[in-house]
Chains A and B, each alone.
Chain A
Amino acid sequence: MNDIYQFVSGPLAWVAFILFIGGSLYRVIAMIAEVKKKEPFIFTYMSLKYSLRSILHWITPFATYNWRRKPVLTVVTFAFHICLFVSPIFLLAHVTLWDESWNIRWWTLPDGSADIMTLIVMASCVFFLVRRLTQREVQFVTFVSDYIILGIVAAPFITGFLAYHQWFGYPILMILHVLAGEVMLVAIPFTRLSHMLFSPFTRAYMGSEFGVIRKSKDY
């Protein structure tokens, strides 16, 4: 078991992080190059002020019309995204591993708080799943790939949670957890999870177009 864990958390983790960082850079640079080639006039009206105005509104709960229209979805969406980022980055176990391998460390969450944030992520995933299965308006725009992506995101949290509590076969779950985390990292640049990379650009573009050209708000 030790050698399998050392393999997935060693060489395979290198592969995953290289694909994640390299793939993300590639996708963003390719996108900017494409805009430059096909619609270079967009750059003439990109505005820092309106970009930030749009981004700030959209990352503030209830600050946009859309967020106010569906309050429950908005609360779940914000709770989900905050916990999704904060819990793995500030997880004591993850920072311990960074420290032991790279001699860098940063502030960590108490394990109890990380555990609750993990539960919030898992509950949000169930909420999104039920919404996709029951709401007609989302059913129309749902594909099999949406369920797969939801599963890819949920998997590191489910396996991490079970491993943390040492329920059901700890070492195997730990290996599955690392694999699940790596699948998710690699999926970020190459699936629709890439909205993580692109949404700031989308908002900057929309904000500038609405602010500069249409003289109106995009929120």
Chain B
Amino acid sequence: MKKGMIIIAGILFLSSVMLLSVHSQEDVTEVDRSVFTNPQRPAAVFKHDAHNQNAGIENCNECHHVYEDGKLLEDESSEDQRCADCHGPEADGNKPSLVKAFHVNCKGCHEKQQKAPILCGECHVR
């Protein structure tokens, strides 16, 4: 009984140390997720500038896009706005909900790559 308690306490202690060390890595940048009031997953990892440099994405509007009457405007971009400014919690016609907008945007490109993350836990790292 006592041995068991010591082992459990040890496991709890170790796992909290591991949790703390993961969450104190300063260079990890995440998408701002304050719009999700009751988040179910750890914040998705996304180091904006480094990511886009590694991935060799030239056009900001790969992600920060602008649509007019359902047509993508090739040479306009919306980096002054947040995804949440246009994408609400529910889908609206062709416009996906915010969560799905992120997933389709990020995963949609990653699925065509060999090394980019496509599993929940590869972006929502614990």
Contact = CB atoms under 8 A, between A and B. Distances in A.
Interface of A: 2-3, 5-6, 92-93, 96, 99-100, 110-111, 163-166, 170-171, 174
B118 A111 contact: no
B107 A166 contact: no
21 contacts: A2-B116, A2-B118, A3-B114, A5-B119, A6-B118, A93-B120, A96-B99, A96-B103, A96-B120, A99-B100, A100-B103, A100-B107, A110-B40, A111-B41, A163-B121, A164-B121, A166-B121, A166-B125, A171-B119, A174-B119, A174-B121
A6 B111 contact: yes
B119 A170 contact: yes
Contacts of B107: 100
B40 to A, nearest CB: 5
Interface residues of B, number: 21
Contact of A166 (B103, B110, B115, B126): B126
A80 B104 CA distance: 35
A191 B122 CA distance: 35
Nearest to B116: A2
A84 B126 CA distance: 25
Interface of B: 38, 40-41, 99-100, 103-104, 107, 110-111, 113-116, 118-122, 125-126
Contacts of A165: 126
A171 B89 CA distance: 29
A170 B103 contact: no
B121 A170 contact: yes
Nearest to A6: B111
A85 to B, nearest CB: 21
A2 B121 contact: no
Contacts of B38: 110
Contacts of B110: 2
Contacts of B121: 163-164, 166, 170, 174
B93 to A, nearest CB: 12
Nearest to B115: A2
Nearest to A96: B103
Q: Which of A2, A163, A170, A174 has the most CB of B within 10 A?
A: A2
Contacts of A164: 121
A2 B113 contact: yes
A92 B100 CA distance: 13
A131 to B, nearest CB: 24
A169 to B, nearest CB: 11
Contacts of A93: 120
A93 B122 CA distance: 13
A165 B18 CA distance: 13
Contacts of A92: 40
A100 B41 CA distance: 17
Contacts of A166: 121, 125-126
A96 B121 CA distance: 13
Given A2-B116, A110-B38, A164-B121, 16 more contacts: A2-B115, A6-B118, A93-B120, A96-B99, A96-B103, A96-B120, A100-B103, A100-B107, A110-B40, A111-B40, A163-B121, A166-B125, A170-B119, A171-B119, A174-B119, A174-B121
